[in-house]
Amino acid sequence: MEPFEPVAVDLRDYVDFDLAEAIGRRVFTTDVVAVDLVCLQPGQQIGARTLAGADAIYTVLGGRAWVVTDEAEATLEPLQAVVVPAGIPHGVRNDGADPLILQLVVSPPDELPDSAGGPAAEAADLGSSAQPARAGLRDRLRRTLGGPG
């Protein structure tokens, strides 16, 4: 077994909003799980989809989410989560006045659509520890939310 050294990831580095559509950025991926950070402006949604062989866990980090299935709808406040079992059609919307930040965990990750890479992937692509492109936004978030500068 290879040595493992845990490395902290600052999720604020993955926050990215677009007025045209919801944005997902891949935080981690392994053979058994994928973790994305998904950002939705007010009025945006992730359309209905079914992950036939994968469970999805949505956790609200900021804002309010409406997770909808054929059978029910759940409103999630910050730090609330819901599991959508494999095979259940579902979607997510932001009907609130504030931006929505979700953590999405999918296992196994095979059926999860590709997401844009985050800062770690960008640095690996450049072969260095380059700074992510959206430093201004990241700095504003750190001032607002707190954390290392």
pLDDT at residue 26, as a whole number: 95
pLDDT at residue 113, as a whole number: 73
Residue given tokens 């930040």 in the structure block? 101
**Assign residue 20 a region: left if phi > 0, alpha if psi is -120 to 50, beta otherwise?**
alpha
Q: Is 12 among the domain residues?
A: no
pLDDT at residue 43, as a whole number: 97
Q: Is 41 among the domain residues?
A: yes
pLDDT at residue 144, as a whole number: 52
pLDDT tens-digit series, residues 48-106: 999 999 999 999 999 999 999 999 999 999 999 999 999 999 999 999 999 999 999 99
Q: Is 54 among the domain residues?
A: yes
pLDDT at residue 122, as a whole number: 55
Q: Is 40 among the domain residues?
A: yes
pLDDT tens-digit series, residues 13-54: 999 999 999 999 999 999 999 999 999 999 999 999 999 999
pLDDT higher than 90, residue 117: no
d(Cα 135, Cα 14) in Å, to the nearest integer? Answer: 11
Overall domain count for the chain: 1
Q: Is 26 among the domain residues?
A: yes
Which residues span the domain enclosing 109?
17-114
DSSP string of 39-72, one letter each residue: EE-TT-EEEEE--TT-EEEEEEEES-EEEEESS-
Task: Report which DSSP code applies to 28.
Answer: E
pLDDT at residue 44, as a whole number: 97
Q: What is the CA radius of gyration of the chain?
A: 16
**Domain of residue 40, CATH code:** 2.60.120.10
Q: Is 24 among the domain residues?
A: yes
